[in-house]
Amino acid sequence: MTATMPDPSSSARRHLRAEVLAYAGYTPGEQATGCVKLNTNECAWPPSPKVREVLRGVADDTMRLYPDPRANRLREVAAGVFGVPSRDWILAGNGSDDCLTVLYRSVLKTADRVAVPWPTYGLYDDLATLQGAEIVHVDFRQAPHTWHLPTVLARQNSKLVLVANPNNPSATLVPVDDLRRLADQLDGLLVIDEAYVDFALSENPEASVLPHLAAHPNLVVLRTFSKSYSLAGGRLGLLFAAPALISAFMKVKDSYNVNALTQAIGIAALEDRDQFNANMRRTVAERARLETALSAFGWTWPKSTANFLLCEVGERAGDLCRELKERGYLVRWWNRPGLSTKLRITVGRPEDTDALVGHLRALGC
Ligand SMILES: Cc1ncc(COP(=O)(O)O)c(C=O)c1O
């Protein structure tokens, strides 16, 4: 007779932290294959061909040995590309999500407060929940053309304030002067998550707060290779801050948090400025085509400074998302107040735009 398996949900769970038991788990965008992915804001074009060369030439020892725990060479190259004084101003992470985890673990203890303008990137909430911290949402001031930072954000008595700039899901950009003022007003760290700023920089060279890092000791800036460098699968993010903060974060991160392959392809991607610039130009040009096509449906969106649009489409938004999925096209929809009538659509390749618009027409838009 087969022995009855013990119920895995039973007594052992009592050893887990209450925050973990109560936590529902982060819901990332759907990562399906065999469809056109316009739902998680990856770049539509491939990474530098130098990345492929690096992968082809991987030596046995690259895999046999541990990687450089501090990713020194990568950080050195990054310091040059991003214009910070030295690698001591940079922490490398397994995606910028890993950098966020290091930040939260370094800064927050139970019941500390984290404030964000809302709506924004959902992981900021989830990491706070896991840390036992309190998340405070302060609504963006939404105008038709753009979203403004709420002025009361500085007065939330929070140890961390996070601003995605450009923001996800709105693709809107807050002026650097507003962010610098916020940094000056805060008695806490200000984290500017610039996951999408490369798309903005290609049209507005003043879009990033990174050149002002040295002027604000409480400022932290995040960049990712998942979007503008077309390396979401490689998992690489960078955190920029004053060396006094970086040396503390170094103690908190996992010892080997960026694997050897990722360090090598990160360097290759950084060094190929031509492919990077071409991908930025192609994205901005295709965004303009997508905007022209979608405006024919009477849809509106705040001005996009990123590689996606947050379209106001009305009550049909959820149904449209489902119907597009049935046709092999993934876009993003949230069943949440303020977002349920909107679709977030990533800029794809020209053929993706054309096919998407064709399907939307066929669906009666
Ligand atoms: C604002 C923002 N920050 C961070 C991330 C995650 O980046 P990574 O892939 O480097 O973890 C995303 C991904 O969608 C994002 O939208």
pLDDT at residue 322 tops 60: yes
266 pocket-lining for ligand 1 (C-beta < 6 Å)? no
Task: Give just the sign of the alpha carbon dihedral 60, 47, 167, 31.
Answer: negative
> Which of 255, 271, 287 is at the close of a domain?
271
With tokens 């990332």, the residue in question is 28
Averaged pLDDT for residues 203-223: 97
CA angle at 240 for the pair 234 and 243, rounded to the nearest 5°: 130
Task: Say if residue 7's pLDDT is above 80.
Answer: no
Q: Which of 137, 125, 79, 119 is nearest to 100 (CA)?
A: 125
Q: What is the mean pLDDT of residues 37-65?
A: 95
Instruction: State if residue 199 touches ligand 1 by the CB under 6 angstroms criterion.
Output: no
pLDDT at residue 273, as a whole number: 97
Say what the pLDDT of residue 1 is: 45
Q: Tell me: the pLDDT tens digits for 8-29?
A: 566 899 999 999 998 988 888 8
How many angstroms is it from 69 CA to the middle of ligand 1?
Answer: 22
Spell out the residues 6+ positions from residue 313 whose beta carbon is closer than 8 angstroms to its own.
297, 299, 320, 341, 342, 343, 365
Does residue 237's CB lie within 6 angstroms of at least one atom of ligand 1?
A: yes
Contact 230, 46 (CB under 8 A): yes
195 and 310 in a common domain: no
Domain end (from 211, 243, 271): 271
Backbone angles phi, psi at 137, to 5 degrees: -100, 130
Residue 5 lies in a domain: no
Query: Residue 32 above 90 pLDDT?
Result: no
What is the distance between the alpha carbons of residues 103 and 124, in angstroms, rounded to a whole number? 11
Candidate from 41, 96, 344 with most ligand 1 atoms within 8 A of CB, to mutate: 96
pLDDT of residue 331: 97
Ligand 1, atom 7, lies closest to the CA of 96
Residue of 31, 40, 91, 97 with the most ligand 1 atoms within 8 Å of its CB, for mutation: 97
Does residue 13 sit within a domain?
Answer: no
Which secondary-structure segment (H or E) carries 345? strand 342-346
DSSP H helices, the chain, are 18-22, 49-56, 60-64, 72-82, 96-107, 123-131, 176-185, 197-201, 243-252, 260-271, 273-295, 317-326, 350-362
Q: Which domain holds residue 117?
A: 49-271
Do 64 and 213 belong together in one domain? yes
Summarised one tens digit per residue, pLDDT across range 132-144 is 999 999 999 999 8
Same domain, 198 and 286: no
Task: Say which residue the tokens 């400025």 belong to.
Answer: 273
Mark whether 215 and 76 lie in a shared domain: yes
The dihedral sign for the CA sequence 269, 164, 321, 23: positive
Residue 1 lies in a domain: no
Residue 269 has pLDDT above 50, yes or no: yes
Mean of pLDDT values over 187-212: 97
Q: Across residues 31-48, what is the average pLDDT?
A: 93
Query: What value does the mean pLDDT of the chain take?
Result: 95
Looking at the structure, tell me whether residues 108 and 223 fall in a common domain: yes
Answer for the pair 173, 310: CB distance below 8 angstroms, yes or no.
Answer: no
Q: What percent of the chain has pLDDT over 70?
A: 97
Ligand 1 center–CA 183 separation, angstroms: 22
Domain containing residue 228: CATH number: 3.40.640.10
What percentage of the chain has pLDDT greater than the value 90? 92
Q: Are residues 219 and 332 in the same domain?
A: no
> Is residue 236 domain-shared with residue 288, that is, in the same domain?
no
Q: What is the pLDDT of residue 34?
A: 86
